[in-house]
Amino acid sequence: MTQIFNNGGEILNTATDGAGSGLTVNVLIRWNSDFAWAAEWSIVNEGDGYKTGDTISFGRPSGLPNAAIFPNGAMFNVTAIELPDLLSDEETIEDGDTFILKGNLNQYDAVADYVQFPDMETKSHQDGPEHEIVYVNEQTDPGYGKALYPELAIGGIRINSAKEWTNFTQLSAYFKKGIKVDDLINGGDKKASNNFVEIANALLTDSTLGAGELIGSNAVGDLSKAAKFCEKNNFTWDGIISNKINLRNFLHEHGTYNLLDFTVIGGKFNLIPAVPHDTEYKIQNNKKIEVSALFTDGNIKDLQVSFLSPEERQLFKANVLYREEKENGFSETRSLIIRLIDTQGGSSTDPLETYDLSGFCTSREQARIYAQYILKLRKEIDHGLSFKTAPQYVVNLIPGDYFRLVSEATHVQRYDNGVVTKEGQVISKDIITDTNANIYYWEVGTSVEKVKEANGVNFVTGAGLPKGVLFTLKNAVTSNRVYKVETISYSEDGLIEVSGSHAPLTSTGSLAILEGWDGTPPFKHFEEVL
């Protein structure tokens, strides 16, 4: 005989893998005289909050006649959840705290990033990236000593957590040392350096941070003297190179800031001091120039002279910008304005020319020296020249050396001319101080055939000086000048082509561009504009 127990049972234990509630079932139990039993289940109320994979436990209903019938209740795993018909994009089903959106059939799948029902569901990343990596912070455990980051410059910052730190949109850092480079002064191990020459050497020879693969040490000359020159005169380069640069232009420009000439000697790049110095490489403004070669009309050909234009010789006030450092603080850009004093041709009305050295110059004295240097170059240097000569005449002559040129070609006296007004005032580019000069002059409005001569003219007192005329000095003597070698190269005809710039000398044989650097009368040629 089969007996039946039919009773609506309720969930007695909640699901172990979920937080669902409200599920009720109907249990139909059949048994025979031997208490062999079977149970059938049907869902009365689906409840809410259940997920696939949840385990649901049912206890033994009361009212059964024997403990052998359905003794332990039952446990079930949720294998599927039936969804209602798909809704429109705007519609949702709200059942307690559960919301089901159209197309999100796998709503609880937060890990598996794949589509189970391609025709019915859409992932958020399918139309574009859901997330973007914007920053990666690497932490390594080398197991010994410091972490190694080869060929990288590293800067770090450590900040304690605090409410005051809300963002890092701007960050400034003070680095006391830079990348280690070869020590050209003392040799030995690499070192962090602010010596421009040592930095230049690294840019030319190091294949990692410079152009070593293209140039290399075999194409670079001995730079140790230039490095010692910068060290002795306290010339430093405290800057950064953050963008691609033209290396030759960079070395030429910044070499000048350190009073160095960038040149090629024997096929090798080189930096040499642009001004005389003693054996300790300290600048000597009154040192007599050593002339290394002599050229005359007898051993040169194709002499060509190029003059600077009047605009290029315009005197000016030099405004040099430099950087005033504050350790672990913010640096400030300072300005130093220097001009030639009136007796040296300068004027308070001279135009202002600005030279920005603030990216690397941290010394006011270095800024001052550079200002004096460029002011004197503008005042004293008026022309350059080139010529051809035989190889034997340039033996041991290198760029930076000085040579003397003696020639009857007197056209280098370009500015020894001018106008004498009807009142007797002499107007010329440069002040003429001859007291016994011979001149050619032309009365305005007359023909060229009436060019006249005047001898023994005194330009200081005006004696013998005609008025209302154009004039030029007669060059009755040969030209005898000193020049600085700029380049030496082979010409197409097998001769050597030499180019040089005029290097005016003082009465004692020192460079005129260094005169007045002492700063004390009568040697004071500069003044600071406040």
- Phi, psi at 42, each rounded to 5°: -145, 140
Mean pLDDT, residues 60-73: 78
Which residues of 169-212 form beta strands (DSSP E)?
180-181, 191-192
Q: Which of 499, 497, 477 is nearest to 413 (CA)?
A: 477
- Residue 199 counted as domain residue: yes
Mean pLDDT, residues 342-367: 94
Dihedral over alpha carbons 15, 19, 21, 25 (to 10 degrees):
-20
One domain for residues 280 and 355: no
Strand, coil or helix: 118? coil
Strand, coil or helix: 203? helix
Question: What is residue 9's predicted lDDT score, i.e. its pLDDT?
Answer: 43
Q: Of 77, 93, 127, at which residue does a domain stop?
A: 77
Q: How many domains does the chain have?
A: 3
Q: Which two tokens stand for residue 177?
A: 């040392």
One domain for residues 278 and 355: no
Q: Which of 1-10, 192-201, 442-451 has the lowest mean pLDDT?
A: 1-10
- Residue 292 counted as domain residue: no
Q: Which of 49-63, 240-254, 334-348, 499-513 has the lowest mean pLDDT?
A: 49-63
- Residue 373 counted as domain residue: yes
Q: Which of 262-266, 269-273, 399-403 has the lowest mean pLDDT?
A: 262-266
- Residue 29 counted as domain residue: yes
- pLDDT above 90 for 236: yes
| Orientation of helix 196-205 relative to helix 224-232, angle to 10° | 150
302 Ramachandran zone, left/alpha/beta (phi>0; psi -120 to 50): left
Q: Of 351, 380, 409, at which residue does a domain stop?
A: 380
Query: What is the pLDDT confidence band of residue 104, given thresholds at 50, 70 and 90?
Result: low
- Residue 480 counted as domain residue: no
Q: Cβ(498)–Cβ(391) under 8 Å? A: no
Query: What is the pLDDT confidence band of residue 274, given thresholds at 50, 70 and 90?
Result: very high
Q: Which of 13-22, 94-103, 188-197, 433-442 has the lowest mean pLDDT?
A: 94-103
Mean pLDDT, residues 163-176: 76
- Residue 358 counted as domain residue: yes
One domain for residues 279 and 330: no
Q: Cβ(76)–Cβ(55) under 8 Å? A: yes
Q: How far apart are alpha carbons 502 and 385 in whole angstroms?
A: 8
- pLDDT above 80 for 272: yes
- Residue 237 counted as domain residue: yes
One domain for residues 241 and 332: no
Strand partners, 43: 25
Q: How far apart are alpha carbons 340 and 350 in whole angstroms?
A: 10
Q: Of 380, 396, 417, at which residue does a domain stop?
A: 380
Using the structure block, give the residue that is written with the tokens 């969930």. Answer: 11
Question: What is residue 108's predicted lDDT score, i.e. its pLDDT?
Answer: 55
Q: Regarding predicted confidence, which is higher, 410 or 492?
A: 492
- Residue 362 counted as domain residue: yes
Range of the domain at 240: 180-284
Q: Cβ(516)–Cβ(525) under 8 Å? A: yes
Q: Cβ(220)–Cβ(268) under 8 Å? A: yes
- pLDDT above 60 for 446: no
